[in-house]
Amino acid sequence: MHNDDLLIAYSNILRRKASLQVDLLAPEQKFMEDILLEAKQVLSVSYISIWILKEIGADTIIECVAHTEWANGNSPDVFPTLNKNDFGNYFSAIEFGESIVAHDAETDERTAEFLEPYLKPQNIKAMLDTIIFQDGFPSGVICCEQVGQTRKWRKEEIHFAEVISDCCTYRFMAKKQALLEVELEKLAFVDELTQAFNRRFFFESIDSMHAFHKRNDYPLTIALIDLDDFKKINDTHGHDVGDKVLKKLVLAVKSQLRKEDLFCRFGGEEFIVAFQCLNASQAKDVLKRVLQSAIDNPVQLDDKEIEYSFSAGVCQVNFDDNISKSIKTADTALYKVKETGKRNIAIGK
């Protein structure tokens, strides 16, 4: 097969590869590495890298986010960047939106700016940079580099490099959508004020948790936590202070929980915990530590401290009953604490 026919064939393979499902929430190096390595082999170039335009304060920079030399986990801790103030011709060419075809990178006015800081030290003789677009505007480049000798880039090679950019555009658009979906999911399941999961997330999660523990005969314990005298805090100090108390409680609880425990804001000043593989007594011990931490660490304001505490009811799940009954039992235990002095934890039966 002629080289040009091979490039056409590989263009189609690359497009197909770009459509494969990958972890779009991973760093760019990870989800673009397969395409870059294959493209490098097909074009027979020394390096291929991805550079993304960014605004940092008043400066426009371009940052390298993926490189064929960084394969297999060799990414640097700090990514290389270029500033528009230092390389005006190159940035102008990118913003114009046409491929930068530099047969001789040392003499092409768009790339000659790199002569001393980069081309000579790295022995780069030819560059082919094609544009990545987002929403119709240039957002970065695919940079193909040839070491050791100048190179007359053929139109088929330029077209192939543009296909690489199109693949990047496709995956970056997919990444943007994936990030949006994560954010929407967060809005659906995370309480905006406290950043704890919300009531909806609890009920989305608890049935599978209940089934798992029942199947394996592991204990599962539910606890309801309710801030003491929260209305008084709001009425005395204002809702801004009340919000600070809610956030402080969430931090105190999270500091004592394990990753596998489910902690959610249940409504208002009430929170719910599902302790996986802990019985009621063990869960109560955890909550005792949380309560002591809350008592010992009041909310600090500029001129005063706001003390707070909570009451809690605990119930070990009976797998013959539904989860609602366990929540009700924990709730009953909670209000018995409220009626007998607050600032305590009780196990419901």
Q: How many helices and strands (H and E) does the chain possess?
A: 10, 14
Residue type for 226, please? Answer: D
Of the residues 33, 204, 269, 307, which is catalytic? 269
Strand ranges inside the chain, DSSP E: 47-56, 59-67, 81-83, 100-102, 124-134, 137-147, 197-198, 220-227, 262-267, 270-276, 299-300, 305-306, 310-316, 345-347
Residues 150, 156, 161, 165, CA torsion sign: positive
Model pLDDT for residues 77-87, shown as the tens digit of each residue: 999 999 999 99
End-to-end CA distance of the chain: 79
For residue 231, is pLDDT > 80?
A: yes
Task: Tell me whether residue 269 is one of the annotated catalytic residues.
Answer: yes
| Three-state DSSP state, 154 | coil
The 10 Å Cβ neighbour count of residue 281 is 12
Tell me the pLDDT tens digit for each residue of 152-164: 999 999 999 999 8
Please, are residues 112 and 125 in contact by the beta-carbon 8 Å criterion? no
Where residue 20 falls among pLDDT bands split at 50, 70, 90?
low
- Complete domains list, the chain, with CATH: 3-186 (3.30.450.40), 197-347 (3.30.70.270)
Neighbours of 299 (CB within 10 A): 20
- CA 59: distance to chain centroid? 25
Beta strand 270-276 with 220-227 is antiparallel
Model confidence, pTM: 0.58
